[in-house]
Amino acid sequence: MKTHFKRAMQTNKNHSAFPYESQQDDGSFIGEPGLTKREYFALKVLPVLIEFSPYGEVSADVKLAVRYADELIIELNKTSCQSKTSLEVQDDD
C-alpha cells in the first residue's frame, strides 16, 4: 500500500517569523507574535541597502527593503505552488 502526501507551503507576509509564548505571573501563557515575515525579510536586507545605498537617503532604502521583502514572498509562493512536495510511504503489509 502506498500513501502519498502532497502539500504546498505558502508564505503569508503577515504570519509571525518567530512566534513565542510568554508565561505570566499567574502561570498562564500569552502568545506573542513577534515580527511578521515581511518585517523580518525587510530587516535582513536593509543594512546592505543602507551601506551601498544608491539613493543616499534612508527613507528610500527602507521603502526598497519592503519592496524586496514583498517580491521575495511573491516568489516563494510561486515556487511552492509550482513544485509541490511529494512524500511516498511504502507499507509492506
Domain ranges of the chain: 36-83
> CB count, 10 Å around CB of 17?
15
Look at residue 68 in the predicted model and tell me its pLDDT.
Answer: 95
Q: 70 — phi, psi (to 5°)?
A: -65, -45
Q: 77 — phi, psi (to 5°)?
A: -70, -35
pTM over 0.75: no
Look at residue 67 in the predicted model and tell me its pLDDT.
Answer: 96
Look at residue 44 in the predicted model and tell me its pLDDT.
Answer: 95
Q: List residues bridging with 4 in a β-sheet.
A: 88
